[in-house]
């Protein structure tokens, strides 16, 4: 069976990380989370991590060239093997264009969608469990605005290419997971 390349998009609090883990396992592709890759660099105190820590803590997007450098080689390797599941990339138009120009286009883009109050509530609950530095109410509001401004145009681009499916992310995780799988054609029909 051919490898499948999927981009999973969704605002902070949409359950994107949880769904990405399940979906990657269901499809047998490699889960690449930019947030997790960035946090690993920050925790390890690498020069890259030190360069981006302040930007991540402020809820801003780190510069496109840096994220491209982090993600594209891994996405290319995954696309040549089991396929990729990109979680948190692309998040801006230049990143989306870099992915398409790298000639490893997604077979499908899944956009998780939920109303803002549901998102804020979920992020605040996660903040109490995980203690993430970018989960304060002010930074959450800023991250939601950044999503609306920088990431919406990416959804529009993928919609124009006929790659986008939108899935309601308001229900319990298992319900959302099966709605996502319902949106995907059978693996062997994706290509």
**# chain residues binding ligand AMP, by CB under 6 A:** 17
79 to 98, contacts with ligand AMP by CB under 6 A? 88-89, 91, 95
State the Cα–Cα distance between residues 71 and 74, nearest whole angstrom.
5
State the Cα–Cα distance between residues 182 and 158, nearest whole angstrom.
19
The owner of tokens 């530095």 is 133
| Cα separation values, 38 from 55, 69, 181, Å | 11, 12, 28
Query: What is the 3 state secondary structure string of 100-152?
Result: HHCCCCCCEEEEEECCHHHHHHHHHHHHHHHCCCCCCHHHHHHHHHHHHHHHH
Q: Which is nearer to ligand AMP, 70 or 164 (CB)?
A: 70
- Rule CB under 6 A: choose which of 29, 32, 67, 99 binds ligand AMP: 67
Report residue 122 as tokens: 């979920």
Query: Cβ of residue 153: shortest distance to ligand AMP, in angstroms?
Result: 14
Query: Cβ of residue 183: shortest distance to ligand AMP, in angstroms?
Result: 21
The region of 60-68, 100-108, 113-121, 161-169 touching ligand AMP under the rule CB under 6 A is 60-68
Q: Which is nearer to ligand AMP, 62 or 184 (CB)?
A: 62
Q: Is 108 in the site for ligand AMP (CB under 6 A)?
A: no
- Rule CB under 6 A: choose which of 35, 94, 105, 171 binds ligand AMP: 35
Report residue 121 as tokens: 């509530």
Q: Is 34 in the site for ligand AMP (CB under 6 A)?
A: yes
> How far separated are the first and last CA of the chain, in Å rounded?
10
150 to 189, contacts with ligand AMP by CB under 6 A? none
Which positions touch ligand AMP (CB under 6 A)? Answer: 12, 34-35, 38, 55-56, 59-62, 67, 88-89, 91, 95, 134, 143
């Amino acid at each position: 069976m051919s490898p499948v390349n999927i981009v999973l998009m969704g605002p902070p609090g949409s359950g994107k990380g949880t769904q990405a883990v399940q979906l990657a396992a269901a499809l047998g592709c490699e889960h690449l989370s930019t947030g997790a890759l960035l946090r690993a660099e920050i925790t390890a105190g690498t020069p890259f991590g030190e360069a981006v820590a302040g930007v991540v803590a402020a809820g801003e997007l780190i510069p496109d060239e840096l994220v491209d450098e982090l993600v594209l080689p891994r996405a290319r390797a995954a696309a040549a093997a089991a396929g990729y599941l990109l979680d948190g990339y692309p998040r801006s138009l230049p990143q989306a264009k870099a992915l398409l120009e790298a000639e490893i286009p997604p077979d499908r883009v899944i956009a998780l969608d939920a109303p803002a109050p549901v998102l804020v509530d979920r992020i605040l609950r996660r903040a109490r469990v995980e203690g993430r530095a970018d989960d304060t109410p002010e930074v959450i509001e800023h991250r939601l605005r950044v999503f609306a401004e920088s990431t919406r145009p990416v959804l529009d681009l993928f919609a124009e290419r006929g790659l986008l499916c939108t899935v309601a992310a308001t229900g319990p995780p298992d319900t959302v997971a099966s709605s996502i799988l319902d949106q995907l054609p059978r693996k062997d029909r994706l290509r």
